[in-house]
Structures are given as C-alpha cells and as structure tokens.
Amino acid sequence: MAKDIPSEEHDIFRDPLLTQSSKEDPLVRFVLKWWQHILVAVVVVFAGWYMYSRYTETQLAGLRRSADLFYGVRNSLSDLQRLRGEFEAKQGKDKKGRQETQKKIKEKYDELRHKLEALSDRKYPYDRFAQLYKGLMLLSVDGVIKEEGDISPKEQGIKELTSLYGSLSVAKDKAGAFISEAARLAVAKAMLDRKESRQKGRKELLLLAKNSRYVLVPAALALARSSNTDSERSESLNVLQQIDKSHPEQHDLIKDELKHLSAVVEN
C-alpha cells in the first residue's frame, strides 16, 4: 500500500505531533488558541513603535534645526554689536572707515533679519527668543540705519521688547522667565540714554538687581555704571554688596566695580 505523500499545503497547526504537544503543554495550547490575536497584537505594537520612532526622529530634527537657527541668530547679533562698537570708535577719526563699517552693519542687519524670520516660525521658546533678539537688533542699529516711517529703530526696539516681557510677565518656565528679564533689562538700559527716562530706567535696573533670577548681575553693573551723583553711587554700592553677600559665586563678575565704587564713595 502506497504511503501518503505529505501535502505542500500541510497546516502546521494540525500537525499530529504539535496536536499531541498541545494537549500536554499549556503554553502551546494558549498559542494555538490565540495565535491570530497574538499576531495582531505584535503587528500593532510594531506599528506603534515604528510611528513613535519616526515621530521622535522628526522631533529631534526639528529641535536641531531650531537650535542651529538660534545659534546663528545669536552669533549674527554679536557680530552686529561688535560692528556697532567699531562704528562708534571711528567717530571723528576715520570718516571713510566709518562709512565702510556702516555698510557692513547694513549687510549684517539684513542677514540677521532673515534669520530672525526663520527663527520666529519655530516653536516656543524659540519664537520668543526671536522677538527678544529682534528688539536687541533694533537697539543696536539705532542711529546707523534708518527704518521707514517716523519711528526710530530704538523706539521700535523698546516697543518690541516691552510687548515681549509684558506677554511673559507671569512665565513660570525658565526660558520664559529669562527672556522676560532680558527684555526688561534691555529696555531699562535703553532708557538711560534719555534725560526724561533716565530715572525710570534706573528704577527698573534697581528692581532687576534686587529681584531677578537671571539678570541681577548685569542689572547691578548697569546701575553702577550709570551713577552720576553720590547718592546714586551709594545706592549702587549697596546693591553690589548685597549681591556679593547673597550670591558669593558672582563675586568675580562684580569685584572690579565693587572695588571702584567703594573707593569713590569712601572718598
């Protein structure tokens, strides 16, 4: 009698050996009974893992892009402020060199504006950093570049920064708090340049030097360097001494100004 030839479509789940094993092994019985559900679960888990991986990769790529834009903006602003310093240093000394520097400032300004537009489209907090740097940029080019309209770049910058820290006045996250304080500091320092707003600027610097989380040292130094009278110097010295006492880790940053004011006030 001819032996049966195994079918090519042999169902492994009906194999006699496997059937016998299923009667003896609880795990095998479970797999045989629920294999379709298990397969679906595996597919779902794999699909979820794949989608999460793609999402994570996209998120990381976006964060890297935002960080690259941020550092590009920061570096361009530093270049712009350096050029502004060169422009001021050449006043009355090198007319041709001053004109060349003014041209470089205009080029750097245009470059920075485009970078800021790109950064402003990113998610928080990068969009707020863009607003902060836009305000600082406008303050940096005041008197060098003329914008359209009657409002000077400085006035535009103050308006931009005031709006920014107003919108972040109750920010609880570190980035929001830092941006808000940095904007307030920039506006306060800008106020020092005008007689009618000087005292208001000093008052704001005093508040920041006493109560801020991130800009107390630059605020205190700006307050000290803007002091013209004995009472203002004494006030600034007191603020620096308080910072030196409560934040000894900041001593190296304020020691020179502290020493200078101490000598002036004592005399």
Per residue in 5-19, pLDDT (tens digit) is 555 555 555 556 555
Number of domains in the chain: 2
Output the six-digit token pair for 82: 């350096």
Quick check: 201 pLDDT over 60? yes
Report which secondary-structure segment, H or E, holds 149. none
How far apart CA 117 and CA 60 sit, in angstroms, is 21
How far apart CA 84 and CA 141 sit, in angstroms, is 7
Same domain, residue pair 159 and 209:
no
Is 142 within a domain? yes
Domain end point (choices 169, 191, 213): 191
Same domain, residue pair 73 and 170:
yes
Q: Which of 238, 155, 252, 239 is nearest to 205 (CA)?
A: 239
Please name the amino acid found at residue 77: L
Q: 120-152, pLDDT tens digit by residue?
A: 999 999 999 999 999 999 999 998 987 666 789
Say if CB 206 and CB 195 are below 8 A apart: no
How far apart CA 120 and CA 117 sit, in angstroms, is 5
Is 4 within a domain? no
Longest dimension (CA), the chain: 126
Domain end point (choices 139, 156, 191): 191
pLDDT of residue 1: 47
How far apart CA 82 and CA 104 sit, in angstroms, is 11
Please name the amino acid found at residue 262: S
Please name the amino acid found at residue 130: A
Is 68 within a domain? yes
Domain that holds residue 256: 201-267
Same domain, residue pair 167 and 257:
no
Q: 60-94, pLDDT tens digit by residue?
A: 666 788 889 999 999 999 999 999 999 999 888 88
Is 6 within a domain? no
Q: With 0.85 as the threshold, say if the pTM is over it.
A: no
Measured CA distances, 10 to 15, 34, 163, 171, 231 (Å): 8, 20, 76, 68, 100
Same domain, residue pair 168 and 124:
yes
